[in-house]
Structure 1
Amino acid sequence: MNICVFLSAADLDERYTRPAREFARLLGKGGHTLVWGGSDTGLMKVVADGVAEAGGSLVGVSVEFLAHKTRPGCDDMVVAKDLAERKALLLARSDAVVVMVGGTGTLDEATEILELKKHGKHTKPVVLLNTAGFYDGLKEQFHRMEDEGFLPLPLSDLVFFAEDGVAALAYLEEGAGVR
């Protein structure tokens, strides 16, 4: 399965890198392909290293203004002209999406993917990996949106909240019916 992972390119502490490394190893051992922003820095590097070390493949999709930070030696690396094209390519090349910890770029990617799913532009499973409770506030906001009628379909049809990498991958491999 080609799994798109949206996540930070920042250097983060062990409460985020350890679970990211563990999830990456699960992806690689499962024979999955990581489709990600292509950066060889921060948490993006941690995940790419883990997938590669465990035998998985790497497909990077960078953007022109970040091309100098791309990871060498990927199975495939594409450089998009802008962020909009990058997001479209990431979605097109994946069977599922996992959102890990990140900043405004990660949040932008996550909300666009969910908006596209809401409007039926894709049916790929989306998982928010809630490492160390990072997305607790967002989860609460999504529940409020659902409760107050802002979502035209059940939240569970849009996104699955996983507390760890094992639950995220189990959902993708079994619960979401994607292979």
Structure 2
Amino acid sequence: MNICVFLSAADLPERYTRPTREFAELLGKGGHTLVWGGSDVGLMKVLADGVQKAGGRLVGVSVDFLQDTARAGADEMVVARDLAERKALLLEKADGIVIMVGGTGTLDEATEILELRKHGKHTKPVVLLNSAGFYDGLKEQFRRMDDEGFLPLPLTDLVFFAEEPVGALAYLEESFGTA
């Protein structure tokens, strides 16, 4: 399965790198392909290193202005013109999406994916991996949107919240009947 992961390219504390390493190992050992932003820095590097070390494939989608941080040695690397094209290519190449910890770029990617899903423009499963409670506030906001009628479909149909890497991968594999 091709699993797109949106996450930070920043160097972050162990409470975030540990689940990233765990998820990477699960992906690689499961024979999955990582589809990611192509960067070889921060958590993106931790993830790519782990997937590759555990035997998985790497498909990166970088963007012109970030080529200097693109990972050498990926199985495939595509360079998009801009961030909009990058997001479209990442989604196109993915069978499922996992949103891990990140900043404004990750939040932008997450909300765009969820908006497309909300409108039926894609049906690929989406998991929000809530490492160290990072997305507790966002989870609460989504629940409020759901409770107050702002979402045209139930929150559970929009995104699956996982607290640990094993739960995130299990959800995706169950979605595809590969568990």
> What TM-score results when the alignment is normalised by the length of structure 1?
0.98
The Cα of 1:177 is off from its aligned counterpart by: 3.0
Q: Contact 1:6/1:100 (CA < 8 Å) preserved in 2? A: yes
Residues 95 and 178, structure 1, Cα contact 8 Å, conserved in 2:
no
Deviation at 1:54, TM superposition (A): 0.1
Does residue 95 of structure 2 align to residue 124 of structure 1? no
What do residues 58-105 of structure 1 show as CA deviations (whole Å, max 9, x unaligned)? 000001000110000010000000000000000000000000000000
Unpaired segments of 5 or more residues in structure 1? none
SS of residue matched to 1:51: helix
Unaligned 5+ runs, structure 2: none
Which position in structure 2 is the counterpart of 1:59?
A: 59
How many pairs align?
178
Structure 1 residue ranges, 4+ long, deviating more than 3 angstroms after superposition: none
Could you tell me the TM-score, scaled by structure 2's length? 0.98
2:98 is the alignment partner of 1:74: no
Match of 1:48 in 2: 48
Whole-angstrom distance in 2 between the partners of 1:17 and 1:132:
11
Give the direction of change, closer, same or farther, for the CA distance of 1:121–1:178 in structure 2 (3 Å limit).
farther
- Distance in structure 1 (CA, Å) of the matches to 2:51 and 2:158: 26
CA spacing shift, 1:33–1:114, aligned 2, 3 Å: same
Partner of 1:177: 176
Identical positions, percent? 80
The CA distance in 2 between the partners of 1:93 and 1:173, in whole Å, is 17
The alpha-carbon deviation at position 178 of structure 1 amounts to 5.3
